[in-house]
Amino acid sequence: MGMFDYRRYSVTESAELANTTLQLATFGQLDRIFGLPVAQLANTFGNILPPGATANPIHVALPAGWSDVGPAALGMGPDSVDSDGYYIIESPLTGRTFSGPQAKIYEERDTSGHVTRLSVTFAGTNSPVDLLDYTQLNSGEIAPYMEQLLTAVRDYALRNGLTADDVIVTGYSLGAAYTNIMAKYADTLAGGFFADSSYVAHAVPYTYEGQDRVLNIGFENDIVHRAAGDFDSLGEAVDAAPGLIGQDYALQSSTDISSCSATTMPTRHGPMAPLRCTIFRAAGRRMSRVSPRTRSRGSPSRHSTILPRATAWSSSLISPPPRATSPGSRIWHARPTGMAMSATPPS
């Protein structure tokens, strides 16, 4: 069994879902902002940079076979989208103010032109207007305002012979929080149609922990990821972590991973500063978080989780098996090696 198992999917399918949702969420975030083709500009910038200037190539685009679903296809009016082409979701705080809550609807078609999958992709923060909506993430007041769009997506899915199982819900940052809110209320939104959809969120400030419904992917050094935890109100989140900084909640839906995808990792301590790498922790499965400090102290830090056993994700992301430090327990130590994460046993 792989570390990155999500719901009933195989390791390979889970990896594809993680990569696909990251592309959807990234493009949905950067497609256009205030009329500027930000995704296109980012790609142009990446093309003129010399090789090796960035840790990874800059390429912001929809996954192959995916495209926008316009309002006409959903049976909605032209006023349902803003001037940047995003569906407008009314905010309980700012109403229909431009650049408030937004979403994109994407579809995947096969070579015969048949729709095979749909995605509800929530946009993240792209203007000061969005900041007010952070105050209602934990309490979820925005959920009923998603109803009109989600009902239209449900009907479009049914017309194309799709089920909830063929729908992916994703988003980045604030959009990731909306993904979790939709998951929380999926049993009632659009008649409960989306209860069995796949929910994969990236860099999420608020998490929904119920029913093993969401896979939240983020980075240990990202102050946004898990900032508001899974509390029922903003006040509770602030009480738990003043300033919403420094939280380290044991959230079962969160991978709690750190990026080890480049040979040099720029940090405030300079390139190749000690990395705090975290092994995947998927919904319902606690995985271990480790850091170089764990090794120097000879025992796990206060926030480490000791794992009785661990297996690799996808194409041998973690290898080789670690040496057990005590009967039935193992501590992982991670280091960056090129474009993958490698684990080394404690010495």
pLDDT of the residue at 209: 85
Check pLDDT > 80 for residue 276: no
DSSP assigned state of 290 = -
Q: What mean pLDDT do residues 144-172 have? A: 98
pLDDT at 206: 87
The answer to whether residue 5 scores a pLDDT higher than 80 is: no
pLDDT at residue 261 in the model: 35
Q: CA geometry: angle at 20 spanning 254 and 248, to 5°? A: 15
Strands 329-330 and 324-326: antiparallel
Domain assignments of the chain as residue spans, ordered by start: 11-255
Q: How confident is the model at residue 307 (pLDDT cuts 50, 70, 90)?
A: very low
Higher pLDDT, 6 or 156: 156
First-residue to last-residue Cα distance in the chain: 27
Cβ–Cβ under 8 Å, residues 318 and 310: yes
Backbone angles phi, psi at 266, to 5 degrees: -70, 125
Going by CATH, does the domain composed of 11-255 fall within 3.40.50.1820? yes
pLDDT band at 12 (very low <50, low <70, confident <90, very high): confident
Query: Is residue 9 predicted with pLDDT exceeding 90?
Result: no
pLDDT digits (tens, 9 = 90+) for 92-118: 999 999 999 999 999 999 999 999 999
Q: Which pLDDT score, from 0 to 100, does residue 288 have?
A: 31
Task: Give the highest mean pLDDT range of 206-210, 238-242, 244-248.
Answer: 206-210
Q: Is 132:161 a contact under the CB 8 Å cutoff?
A: no
pLDDT tens for residues 66-93? 999 999 999 999 999 999 999 999 999 9
149 pLDDT exceeds 60? yes
Q: What is the mean pLDDT of residues 122-141?
A: 91
Average pLDDT for the chain: 74
What would the mean pLDDT of 280-304 be, rounded to a whole number?
A: 31
Residue 247: its pLDDT value, please?
A: 56
Burial of 131 (0-12, 13-18, 19+ CB in 10 A): exposed
